[in-house]
C-alpha cells in the first residue's frame, strides 16, 4: 500500500478560494448551476475524469445539477466519493470576512483558520477531497477506479440525487464502498465514524380561517374574544403531534444489542460537557448517565420546527387569516418513519383539527450498515495513523441519503479527520492543521484499497 503525504495546502486553498464566492444556496439556481459547471470543468481538466452526466444536459431541470464523473483506471476496486456543493444562506453581519469571500486569519486557540460559508460544511472538505485525488494521481499512486458524484440539494433532502440513483439500471455501477469525506473531529474532539444515518421527512402544516372558525381575511385583534385565531389552532395541532414537554420527540425504541455495545464503549470516554460546549448549549434536555444520554440521542424520532409564521406578517393588531409551520422529522433507521407519518395524519384528521392541512414535501428513510462492512476498518486505520483514537457510533442523529446508495455498495461512510466549526452559523471555519489532517486521512483511506 502506498501512502502519499501532501506537502502543502496551497492547491486546496486555491480551490477553496475559487468555489467560495458561488452563493450556492437553495433558491439560487443560477449560482448553483454555475458552480456545478465550474466543478465539472475542473475535475475534467485537473483529474482527467470522464463525464457521466453532463451538467449541460440538466439545465432544464428545476434543480441544482448533479456533477457525476468517472476515473476509470481499469482497476479491480471501485470507490464512490460523494460530496455536496450547496451551503446554507449567510449575510455579512458579524462575520470576520464576508461569508462568500472568505479569508485566512489566526485565532488564539486554534491557530490559522480559513473563515467562509462552507469552510466546514462542505466546500472545505470538497476541495480537500478533490486535491487528495490529485495528489495520488500526481504520484502515480491512484490504483482504484473513482466515481465522483456531487449534489446541490443535500441541505434540503437530496431529492434529485435520490431520483437519479433510483433509475434502473443505477447510473453508478457496483462499488466496494461509498465515502462522504467530511471534517469529523467535531469541536476538535475524537473523530467519529457513523454506521448509519437518520431519515428525513419535510412537510408544512397550515391553518386557514374558514368553517371551523377563524377569519378568511385578517381582522382587528379586538375580535379575539369570540373569533378563533389560526395561530392558536396551529399551536394546538403542533402540540397534538409532538407535545412540547418532549422537545419534539415523537417516538423512542430501545437500542438493540449491536448498537448498545458500540454506545457502551463510547460512553466510557465520551465527554458530555465538551459536547455541550461544542453545541453552544448549557444543558441537555434528557437525563441519566452518559450511556443513557447517548441512547436517547440516537433512539428517538424528533420533529423540529424550522419556521412558524402568520399571514399577514408583522401585523400586531390583527387576527391573521392563516398560520403555517415548516417541519422536519428526523427518524433513526430503527424506527418506521412511514408509520409515524400515518399516526400524525390520523391525529390531524380528528374533527378538532378541521382547517389544519399537512402537506408532505419530501421523505427518505434512515439506513444503517454493519461494523464489518468494507471500508470501516480502513477509515479507523486512517485515523489511527495520525495518532487519533476514533469514536464509532451505531448511526448518526443527523440525516444523509445513505439508503439511496445501498444498491451501489454495502457501506455509506461519512468520515475524515479535521477540525472545523460554526457550520450553518457565523464565522464558519476550518483550521489549516485540520485541513491537512483531513487530506491525509482521505489519501490513506483510498490507498488502503489499492493492490488488495
The predicted model gives 31-51 an average pLDDT of 98
Any domain includes 435: yes
CA–CA gap between residue 414 and residue 419 (Å, rounded) = 15
Residues 178, 326 within the same domain:
no
Residues 351, 224 within the same domain:
yes
Q: Residue 314: its pLDDT value, please?
A: 82
Q: Which three cell numbers stand for residue 92?
A: 455579512
Residues 23, 47 within the same domain:
yes
CA–CA gap between residue 263 and residue 279 (Å, rounded) = 20
How are beta strands 199-208 and 356-364 bridged, if at all?
antiparallel
Helix (H) or strand (E) holding 113: strand 111-115
Its domain, for residue 344, covers 199-253+299-364
Residues 26, 101 within the same domain:
yes
Residues 17, 102 within the same domain:
yes
Residues 315, 388 within the same domain:
no
Q: Residue 451: its pLDDT value, please?
A: 60
Any domain includes 274: no
| Torsion angle of the four alpha carbons 33, 53, 121, 387, in this order, in degrees rounded to the nearest 10 | -150
Q: Residue 452: its pLDDT value, please?
A: 54
Residues in CB range of 162: below 8 A, 6 or more apart: 364, 401, 404
DSSP assignments along 213-225, one per residue = BS-SS-EEGGGGG
Is the Cβ–Cβ distance between 187 and 274 less than 8 Å? yes
Q: Which three cell numbers stand for residue 451?
A: 493492490
Residues 217, 171 within the same domain:
no
* Residue for grid cell 393588531: 317
Residues 107, 34 within the same domain:
yes
- Residue of 126, 145, 123, 121 lying closest to 72 (CA atoms): 145
Is the Cβ–Cβ distance between 382 and 448 less than 8 Å? yes
The predicted model gives 81-103 an average pLDDT of 97
Residues 14, 145 within the same domain:
yes
Q: For 317, phi and psi rounded to 5 degrees?
A: -100, 20
Question: Which CATH number does the domain housing residue 19 bear?
Answer: 3.40.630.10
CA–CA gap between residue 25 and residue 13 (Å, rounded) = 21
316 confidence band (pLDDT: 50, 70, 90): confident
Q: Residue 450: its pLDDT value, please?
A: 79
Q: For residue 2, is pLDDT > 60?
A: no
How are beta strands 199-208 and 322-331 bridged, if at all?
antiparallel
Q: For residue 372, is pLDDT > 70?
A: yes
Residues 154, 249 within the same domain:
no
Count: domains in the chain: 2
CA–CA gap between residue 341 and residue 327 (Å, rounded) = 12
Any domain includes 268: no
Q: Cα dihedral sign for 138, 144, 149, 150?
A: negative
- Residue of 443, 8, 412 lying closest to 180 (CA atoms): 412
Residues 376, 346 within the same domain:
no
pTM higher than the cut 0.85: yes
Question: Which CATH number does the domain housing residue 325 bear?
Answer: 3.30.70.360
Q: Which three cell numbers stand for residue 141?
A: 499512486
CA–CA gap between residue 84 and residue 79 (Å, rounded) = 17
Q: Residue 387: its pLDDT value, please?
A: 81
Residues 186, 209 within the same domain:
no
- Residue of 55, 183, 52, 39 lying closest to 124 (CA atoms): 183
Helix (H) or strand (E) holding 32: helix 29-47
- Residue of 132, 128, 101 lying closest to 115 (CA atoms): 101
Q: Say what percent of the chain tops pLDDT 70.
A: 98
Q: What is the pLDDT of residues 134-186, one digit of tens each?
A: 999 999 999 999 999 999 999 888 999 999 999 999 999 899 999 999 999 99
Q: Say what percent of the chain tops pLDDT 90.
A: 92
Counts of helices then strands in the chain (DSSP H, E): 11, 21
- Residue of 443, 429, 396 lying closest to 79 (CA atoms): 443
Provide the H-helix boundaries in 223-363: 230-241, 257-267, 272-278, 290-298, 337-348
How large is the C-alpha radius of gyration of the chain?
A: 23
Q: For residue 34, is pLDDT > 60?
A: yes
Q: Which three cell numbers stand for residue 390?
A: 476514533
Q: What is the pLDDT of residues 258-275, one digit of tens each?
A: 999 999 999 999 999 999
Any domain includes 79: yes
Q: Residue 93: its pLDDT value, please?
A: 95
The secondary structure of residue 447, as a DSSP letter, is H
CA–CA gap between residue 389 and residue 78 (Å, rounded) = 27
Q: What is the pLDDT of residues 183-213, one digit of tens each?
A: 999 988 999 999 999 999 999 999 999 999 9
Q: For residue 374, is pLDDT > 50?
A: yes
> Which one of 329, 347, 364 terminates a domain?
364
Q: What is the pLDDT of residues 388-398, one digit of tens each?
A: 889 999 999 99
> Which one of 364, 394, 410 terminates a domain?
364
Any domain includes 278: no
6 confidence band (pLDDT: 50, 70, 90): very low
Q: Residue 3: its pLDDT value, please?
A: 45
Ramachandran sector of residue 48 (left: φ over 0; alpha: ψ -120 to 50; beta: rest): left
Any domain includes 58: yes
> Which one of 349, 364, 379 terminates a domain?
364
Residues in CB range of 206: below 8 A, 6 or more apart: 234, 322, 323, 324, 325, 356, 357, 359
The predicted model gives 380-395 an average pLDDT of 92
Any domain includes 283: no
Rounded to 10 deg, the angle between the 257-267 and 290-298 helix axes is: 130
Any domain includes 122: yes
Amino acid at each position: 500500500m502506498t501512502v502519499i503525504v501532501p506537502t502543502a495546502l496551497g492547491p486546496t486553498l486555491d480551490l477553496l478560494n475559487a468555489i467560495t464566492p458561488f452563493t450556492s444556496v437553495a433558491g439560487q439556481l443560477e449560482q448553483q448551476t454555475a458552480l456545478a459547471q465550474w466543478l465539472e470543468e475542473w475535475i475534467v481538466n485537473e483529474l482527467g475524469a470522464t463525464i457521466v452526466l453532463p451538467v449541460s444536459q440538466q439545465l432544464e431541470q428545476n434543480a441544482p445539477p448533479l456533477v457525476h464523473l468517472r476515473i476509470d483506471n481499469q482497476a479491480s476496486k471501485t470507490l464512490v466519493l460523494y460530496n455536496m456543493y450547496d451551503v446554507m444562506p449567510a449575510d455579512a453581519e458579524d462575520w470576520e470576512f464576508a461569508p462568500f469571500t472568505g479569508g485566512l486569519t489566526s485565532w488564539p486557540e486554534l491557530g490559522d483558520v480559513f473563515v467562509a460559508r462552507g469552510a466546514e460544511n462542505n466546500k472545505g472538505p470538497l476541495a480537500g477531497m478533490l486535491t487528495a485525488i490529485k495528489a495520488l494521481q500526481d504520484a502515480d499512486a491512484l490504483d482504484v477506479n473513482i466515481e465522483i458524484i456531487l449534489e446541490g440539494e443535500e441541505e434540503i433532502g437530496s431529492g434529485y440525487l435520490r431520483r437519479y440513483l433510483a433509475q434502473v439500471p443505477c447510473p453508478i455501477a457496483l462499488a466496494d464502498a461509498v465515502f462522504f469525506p467530511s471534517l469529523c473531529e467535531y469541536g476538535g474532539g475524537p473523530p467519529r465514524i457513523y454506521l448509519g444515518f437518520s431519515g428525513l421527512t419535510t412537510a408544512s402544516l397550515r391553518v386557514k380561517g374558514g368553517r371551523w372558525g377563524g377569519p378568511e381575511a385578517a381582522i382587528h385583534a379586538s375580535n379575539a374574544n369570540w373569533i378563533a385565531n389560526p395561530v392558536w389552532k396551529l399551536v394546538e395541532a403542533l402540540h397534538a403531534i409532538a407535545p412540547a414537554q418532549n422537545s419534539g420527540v415523537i417516538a423512542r425504541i430501545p437500542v438493540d444489542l449491536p448498537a448498545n455495545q458500540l454506545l457502551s464503549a463510547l460512553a466510557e470516554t465520551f465527554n458530555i460537557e465538551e459536547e455541550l460546549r461544542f453545541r453552544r448549549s448549557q444543558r441537555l434536555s434528557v437525563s441519566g448517565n452518559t450511556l443513557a444520554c447517548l441512547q436517547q440521542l440516537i433512539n428517538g424520532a424528533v420533529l423540529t420546527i424550522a419556521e412558524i409564521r402568520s399571514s399577514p406578517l408583522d401585523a400586531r393588531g390583527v387576527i391573521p387569516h392563516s398560520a403555517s409551520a415548516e417541519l422536519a422529522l428526523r427518524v433513526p433507521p430503527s424506527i418506521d418513519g412511514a408509520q409515524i407519518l400515518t399516526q400524525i395524519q390520523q391525529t390531524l384528521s380528528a374533527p378538532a383539527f378541521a382547517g389544519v392541512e399537512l402537506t408532505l414535501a419530501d421523505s427518505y428513510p434512515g439506513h444503517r450498515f454493519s461494523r464489518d462492512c468494507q471500508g470501516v476498518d480502513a477509515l479507523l486505520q486512517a485515523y489511527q495513523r495520525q495518532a487519533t483514537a476514533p469514536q464509532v457510533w451505531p448511526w448518526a442523529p443527523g440525516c444523509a441519503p445513505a439508503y439511496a446508495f445501498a444498491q451501489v455498495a454495502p457501506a455509506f461512510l461519512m468520515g475524515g479527520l479535521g477540525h472545523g466549526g460554526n457550520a450553518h452559523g457565523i464565522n464558519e471555519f476550518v483550521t489549516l492543521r485540520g485541513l491537512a489532517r483531513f487530506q491525509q486521512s482521505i489519501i490513506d483511506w483510498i490507498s488502503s484499497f489499492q493492490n488488495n
